[in-house]
Amino acid sequence: MKRPGLNYQSLEDQVQKIISDVATKGDAAVRKYSKAFDGYSADKLEVTKEEIETAGAEVSPALKKAIQEAQRNIQTFHEKQVFRGETIETSAGVRCWQKQIPICSVGLYIPGGSAPLLSTALMLGIPAKIAGCREIILCTPPDSQGRVSPAILYIAGMLGMDRVFRVGGVQAIAAMAHGTETIPPVNKIFGPGNQYVTMAKQIVSRDTVAIDLPAGPSELAVVADSAANPAYIASDLLSQAEHGPDSQVLLLTDSITLIDGVKREIQVQLEGLPRKKIASESLENSKMILLKNQEEIMAFTNAYAPEHLIIVTENYAELAEQVINAGSVFLGPYTPESAGDYASGTNHTLPTNGWAHSYSGLNMESFTKKLTFQEISKDGLANIGESIMILAEAEQLQAHSAAVSIRLKKGNND
Ligand SMILES: [Zn+2]
């Protein structure tokens, strides 16, 4: 169950140096590293309002329409998660409630370069906007001409993000954590990235800023039985394998015939893929595992805690009930994992590397905090005061006890 390619130890010094440089030298360091890693050192790190407004002209109508449909579904799904707490009277006269407050400023990191992840701009930007974060900034690496993906700029404009910076990599994470002359520091950083970005997020999260999730290479587990279509399964495994050479995909089944069928289909479908090399490398890390029965399959699945889990068995609804550790679950033959990556509405930022044992994927809570409030009447305090005092004294915290007794003393503030 160990994931491949997770030895980040050697990166740490390298990444720490860039972060320290950006923290002390600001924009100059950001430019230096952008030049070194992206081949472009922008005079103007910030993308102008005009660039954002005109970006739409370079996005095809078909892509715009697809973006808008995805936006609608993601918006609908996340809006329903907005927390509306009620006031609870825990004892007579003791009223307690929770209030959800947006995190003030958030920084969204959107990988760019050869494959700009425009879907990530939607997955991070929409909940941030619904939450009501006061400042939403976006960092994305430019190409060597300094150009930022028009589709990402179009989305930034559509969602009304406040500021966009043409900065990527470790220097972007460092800038959003520590702030520079141009880039403001934020309270929380979101977004995926390569191992350098991931390491940078880990380092800044220790003492400077909150981050979304411990993120690692992408994963998919498919649970299937002999009735499943091998061609569909092969397409799902390849769709996840093409994310990166360190992605891992698993097929868990009790049917050896299915394994043979999927192997054949993978060979056929792999041939036609532009990212064949990446997918092949990732398949090296991947496994098809024959287990005795569904009980074993579900035990393995829950122990592995995959980021994405597809269940295509005849009784998938029944097995779905048994899932306790997974980031996002896809049920039945017509629910490919790509649907959740792009357009069905759920978030695609999910826990990897077994973190699904204890973490949820991104949701509205990730962009908000819950504050608790309470208001107690004099009678209410009389009702619970005795217990507070006894508990405080049991901990030998006399002043705590006194804060109650002084209020309940006869003749005081009547
Ligand atoms: Zn995917």
Distances (CA, A) of 3 to 198, 220, 249, 384: 16, 12, 10, 51
Distance 330 CA to ligand 1 centre (A): 12
Predicted pLDDT of residue 375: 98
Distance 219 CA to ligand 1 centre (A): 8
**Residues 207 and 62 grouped into a single domain:** yes
Distance 311 CA to ligand 1 centre (A): 16
Predicted pLDDT of residue 127: 98
Write out the residue range of the structural domain in which residue 296 sits: 219-360
Catalytic residue among 51, 242, 307, 337: 307
Residue at 371 is within a domain: no
Q: What is the pLDDT along the chain (414 residues), one digit of tens a residue?
A: 888 765 666 789 999 999 999 999 999 999 999 999 888 877 889 999 999 999 999 999 999 999 999 999 999 999 999 998 899 999 999 999 999 999 999 999 999 866 789 999 999 999 999 999 999 999 999 888 888 999 999 999 999 998 999 999 999 999 999 999 999 999 999 999 888 999 999 999 998 999 998 778 889 999 999 999 999 999 999 999 998 888 999 999 999 999 999 999 999 999 999 999 999 999 998 999 999 999 999 999 999 999 999 999 999 999 999 999 999 999 999 999 999 999 999 999 999 999 999 999 999 999 999 999 999 999 999 999 999 999 999 999 999 999 999 999 876 655
Please indicate whether residue 307 is annotated as part of the active site: yes
Residue at 25 is within a domain: yes
Residue at 196 is within a domain: yes
Q: Measured in whole angstroms, how far is the alpha carbon of residue 236 from the centre of its chain? A: 21
**Residues 194 and 228 grouped into a single domain:** no
Distance 382 CA to ligand 1 centre (A): 57
Residue at 1 is within a domain: no
Instruction: Name 94's bridge partners.
Output: 91, 376
Predicted pLDDT of residue 352: 93
The domain tally of the chain equals 3
CATH code where residue 56 lies: 3.40.50.1980
Please check whether residue 113 is in contact with residue 168, taking contact to mean a CB–CB distance below 8 angstroms. Answer: yes
Question: Sign of dihedral through CA atoms 30, 56, 71, 115?
Answer: negative
Predicted pLDDT of residue 411: 64
Distance 165 CA to ligand 1 centre (A): 26
Read out DSSP for 185-241? P-SEEE----HHHHHHHHHHHHHT-EES----S-EEEEEE-TTS-HHHHHHHHHHHH
Residue at 374 is within a domain: no
Q: φ, ψ for residue 348 (rounded to 5)? A: -100, 5
**Residues 228 and 268 grouped into a single domain:** yes
Residue at 6 is within a domain: no
What 3-state DSSP class applies to 387?
helix
Residue at 80 is within a domain: yes
What residues sit around ligand 1, an ion, with C-beta below 5 angstroms? 341
Q: What is the reported pTM? A: 0.93
**Residues 140 and 250 grouped into a single domain:** no
Last residue of a domain, which of 211, 228, 253?
Answer: 211
Distance 337 CA to ligand 1 centre (A): 6
Distance 244 CA to ligand 1 centre (A): 10
Catalytic residue among 308, 314, 321, 395: 308
Distance 276 CA to ligand 1 centre (A): 15
Predicted pLDDT of residue 321: 98
**Residues 205 and 257 grouped into a single domain:** no
Please check whether residue 119 is in contact with residue 113, taking contact to mean a CB–CB distance below 8 angstroms. Answer: no
